[in-house]
Amino acid sequence: MATPATAAAPPCPSPNPLSLLPRCSTLRELKQIQAFTIKTHLQNDPSVLTKLINFCTENPSSSSMAHAHQLFDDIPEPDIVMFNSMARGYSRSNTPLQAISLFVDVLCCGLLPDDYTFPSLIKACSGAKALEEGKQLHCFAVKVGLNDNIYVRPTLVNMYTECKDVDAARLVFDKIVEPCVVSYNAIITANAKISRPNEALSLFRELQGRNLKPTDVTLLSVLSCCALLGALDLGKWIHEYVKKYGFHKYVKVNTALVDMYAKCGSLKDAVSIFENMAVKDTQAWSAMIMAYATHGQGHQAMSLFEEMRRAQVKPDNITFLGLLYACSHTGLVEEGFKYFSYMSEEHRIIPGIKHYGCMVDLLGRAGYLDRAYKFIDELPIEPTPILWRTLLSSCSSHGNIELGKKVIGRIFELDDSHGGDYVILSNLLARAGKWEDVDYLRKMMKDRGVVKIPGCSSIEVNNVVHEFFSGDGVNSVSTDLHRALDELVKELKIAGYVPDTSLVVHPDMEDDDKEITLRYHSEKLAIAFGLLNTTPGTTIRVVKNLRVCGDCHSAAKLISLIFDREIILRDVQRFHHFKDGKCSCGDFW
């Protein structure tokens, strides 16, 4: 008698191969289990395949994702659950957009997305910064009615954020009825990243109003906003919060506190946080080195670096940026070059544009202008306008018109739309009385439609950040402030202040008008506001978006003496601590 062609499978005495999965840790072991499923005739069982795919997508390396893809391709009729697993794996892999191309394939096979499909696909777009694909998925989610899903909206907010379309992120966020902390984190971080600190902070207040508990991610973003605004009181409040809820065990949060205190002008608090950190990683050391550097304490920065070396923490490119910055702001040319070569020779760190910028600044500030020009000219990379601009500032502070003109020529070859460049050169020319050249430059600016960035200074009083713009004339300033400014200038003049009208580039303007222009500089407005609205003896902290001008710098020195106030002014370059008529920068900025 012939043996029947389809004999019944023998009863399986072995254990179910899938019971081995929890103990499996490598792809090789998984393949052994897979072989076992073939032996036990389970290789086509959908639930077995799903579990094998899930294993691969849990740890999405390129080889495990390739294996998962192969398994998936072998399934005659995959379901959406299997696809979701693939999409989740790809969204966390190095090739996130593969999720999208696989999605297109399964759509052609007639599969329909469910609640879990879009979050992974949108996350894949975030990872790949693929705004166009993200938008298409958003449309598709609307079309199938899944855009309001509680998992879809937060991932959309995140995707628009990652793709730098913060306005779209905000639109989606505003439609979430009950936003969770994850959605808040996404939108707060988005605003912090594009330097909209006030918006980020008001979202943070909203989050608290809803009784949601911030996470370390929220606090990192909010602290960076305080740092950006120089909002010390709010920063201190967050610090209390950090302590109360145990966030001080996060190294990153502590590092953000060091950075916040340093940028808000309280170096003492930054040092105290740093010294009390149980664990200090490279970022923490770098933040403290940078803090010393921006506060003009170059030698402290260097000795901290020695300590870091003794602690055997590996420096990175940010650590060296801090050191170079420290050298340039303390005038330590030789030390700067020593660190510059040490960085590339010992640590194999390729200098970036910011490192080169520090070197140009280092040479320029110390007066080695021709050497700085040569340095830029011989760089192994294409110089950016910012590098030349740094040199232009040095030409201006050292009064070198010839080189200044040559440098601006190099800047204009690359970019002629930056208002600040025209202003620096005009100031340089004006101080030398070269009015014809000044006129020519102003005409050039007008013809090219270049606008000047207005100076803006901010001061935090009673937890509110007040902003003042240069040229906020008589009309936009309150009567009280207007009066306070007049009084201030009067007292300054008695103490010997002479307004430096050469800084006002208007040849036809009368000297009196030039004086008025100087009086309404944003930093003077902010300081006067601080004198008016804080109790005697309180430190006045001002943040300015551009470099402080020479006239405001001399005025601030005198104010600190006459009114016995410490004034801490952070400009775009560094900190100025004014006390007893002197500035910590030693008039070197």
CA distance 142 to 122: 13
Smallest separation (angstroms) from Zn ion to the CB of 89: 55
On whether the CB atoms of residues 177 and 150 are closer than 8 A, the answer is: no
Q: What residue spans of 230-351 are helical by DSSP H?
A: 232-244, 251-263, 267-275, 282-294, 298-310, 317-330, 333-347
Smallest separation (angstroms) from Zn ion to the CB of 123: 47
* CA torsion, ordered 17, 23, 26, 28, to nearest 10 deg: -30
* CA torsion, ordered 533, 580, 227, 297, to nearest 10 deg: 180
User: Given the complex with Zn ion, which of 409 and 581 has the nearer CB atom?
Assistant: 581
User: Given the complex with Zn ion, which of 153 and 519 has the nearer CB atom?
Assistant: 519
Smallest separation (angstroms) from Zn ion to the CB of 514: 12
**Residue 22 DSSP code:** G
Look-up of token digits 């000044």:
438
User: Given the complex with Zn ion, which of 252 and 398 has the nearer CB atom?
Assistant: 398
Tokens of 363: 């040479």
User: Given the complex with Zn ion, which of 125 and 540 has the nearer CB atom?
Assistant: 540
CA distance 204 to 221: 10
Burial (0-12, 13-18, 19+ Cβ within 10 Å), 43: middle
User: Given the complex with Zn ion, which of 69 and 329 has the nearer CB atom?
Assistant: 329
User: Given the complex with Zn ion, which of 409 and 454 has the nearer CB atom?
Assistant: 454
Smallest separation (angstroms) from Zn ion to the CB of 565: 15
Q: What is the H or E stretch that residue 361 is in?
A: helix 353-365
Smallest separation (angstroms) from Zn ion to the CB of 427: 11
Q: Strand 575-579: give its sheet, edge to edge.
A: 464-469, 456-461, 540-544, 567-570, 575-579, 582-583
User: Given the complex with Zn ion, which of 258 and 583 has the nearer CB atom?
Assistant: 583
Nearest to 404 by CA among 416, 413, 417, 395: 395
User: Given the complex with Zn ion, which of 395 and 549 has the nearer CB atom?
Assistant: 549
Smallest separation (angstroms) from Zn ion to the CB of 271: 21
User: Given the complex with Zn ion, which of 521 and 570 has the nearer CB atom?
Assistant: 521
Which DSSP string corresponds to 462-498? Answer: TTEEEEEETT--GGGS-HHHHHHHHHHHHHHHHTT--
- Residues interacting with Zn ion, by CB under 5 A? 521, 549, 551-552, 576, 583, 585
User: Given the complex with Zn ion, which of 164 and 582 has the nearer CB atom?
Assistant: 582
Task: List phi, psi (to 5°) of 29.
Answer: -65, -40
DSSP bridge pairs for 540: 567
On whether the CB atoms of residues 154 and 190 are closer than 8 A, the answer is: no
- Alpha carbons within 13 angstroms on the beta-carbon side of residue 173 total 27
Q: What residue spans of 210-277 are helical by DSSP H?
A: 216-229, 232-244, 251-263, 267-275
Smallest separation (angstroms) from Zn ion to the CB of 523: 6
Smallest separation (angstroms) from Zn ion to the CB of 575: 8
Q: Which residues contact 187 (CB under 8 A, 6 or more apart)?
A: 157, 161, 169, 170, 173, 203
Tokens of 431: 């101080």
User: Given the complex with Zn ion, which of 123 and 524 has the nearer CB atom?
Assistant: 524
Smallest separation (angstroms) from Zn ion to the CB of 553: 6
User: Given the complex with Zn ion, which of 92 and 565 has the nearer CB atom?
Assistant: 565
Q: What is the H or E stretch that residue 569 is in?
A: strand 567-570
Query: What SS3 state is found at 319?
Result: helix
User: Given the complex with Zn ion, which of 203 and 549 has the nearer CB atom?
Assistant: 549
Smallest separation (angstroms) from Zn ion to the CB of 178: 48
Smallest separation (angstroms) from Zn ion to the CB of 452: 14
Smallest separation (angstroms) from Zn ion to the CB of 589: 5
Which DSSP string corresponds to 138-161? Answer: HHHHHHTT-TT-TTHHHHHHHHHH
Q: Which residues contact 484 (CB under 8 A, 6 or more apart)?
A: 528, 529, 531, 532
User: Given the complex with Zn ion, which of 521 and 565 has the nearer CB atom?
Assistant: 521
Tokens of 474: 């008589």
Query: What SS3 state is found at 391?
Result: helix
Smallest separation (angstroms) from Zn ion to the CB of 578: 7
CA distance 156 to 186: 10
User: Given the complex with Zn ion, which of 200 and 543 has the nearer CB atom?
Assistant: 543
Smallest separation (angstroms) from Zn ion to the CB of 300: 18
Smallest separation (angstroms) from Zn ion to the CB of 472: 13
Look-up of token digits 């005739």:
41
